[in-house]
Structure 1
């Protein structure tokens, strides 16, 4: 194994750094993560984009949640792309975007952005993976549930578009 391959393997096995852990209001079923210097969010909403549960633009991603309520969210930093654990969630999806400023804004769609969490990351291209679980625990009215959302970030460019690694058949 080359020195580079060994260091990538070691980085991939390194523990994640938690950048955010808490709840955010997923108003309109959306939470976004964007470069602080680039306010434009991805566009082009259609049924396919919503079913993928992640939209990616040049400098931002939008996570589509199962509830229009405060939801638990964890954002992790990894030094290299972690191996996907498809058993960890009901829906797993990846994309890429860039953070030229090295600061990300994390917010619900209608949050007051000046008070939204800021997350420090290395400037440059980023990979992102969304792992959604508990999607089958929603109440009939969609207001209660044990749904949980994880965003994993790492340095490096990703192929264009959104890649669904595991699709939740429940909608």
Structure 2
């Protein structure tokens, strides 16, 4: 089942974390972290949308990895997330909790899909960017960018 959210991505980020651990979100960012559009810390994955406004996010929990349709998306990345409490919290950066979802306790893979990244206005406030997140049980693996977005406006 796909759940749809409008998430305020203040500072271009929102979090997926273990509700029981209530972790601190990572604060030190490198240029590489920003380009990847995803960052991890203990019990947390930071998703980094293009806009720091309300963004549409489709969220799905599955039993296995979804088909990898790279052509339909501008950027795709994956990271591991440990959820020992069995409660996944979607949390805004400066807002609060968006939702808490019950899952089986364990380790998961989080795949983030970013679309419409080239549709943003010059001031970055408006656009048709949209996001999809899929979570499934999986062993711990390194963070991976499966498709890297390069903004054509920044290429010289």
Return the TM-score normalized by structure 2: 0.91
1:44 & 1:95 partners in 2: Cα distance? 17
In structure 2, the partner of 1:12 is none
Q: CA RMSD in A?
A: 1.3
Find 1:102's aligned residue among 86, 91, 102.
86
The count of corresponding residues between Structure 1 and Structure 2 is 151
Find 1:165's aligned residue among 121, 146, 155.
146
List gaps (5 residues or longer) in structure 2: none
- The CA deviation string for residues 43-99 of structure 1, in whole angstroms up to 9 with x for no partner, is 431110011000112311001111010000011011111232111210000110110
- Structure 2 residue 14 is matched with structure 1 residue 21: no
Q: How far did 1:26 drift?
A: 0.4
List gaps (5 residues or longer) in structure 1: 1-16
- Structure 2 residue 133 is matched with structure 1 residue 151: yes
1:88 & 1:130 partners in 2: Cα distance? 13
Q: How far did 1:108 drift?
A: 1.4
Structure with the bigger percentage of helix: 1
In structure 1, the partner of 2:33 is 49
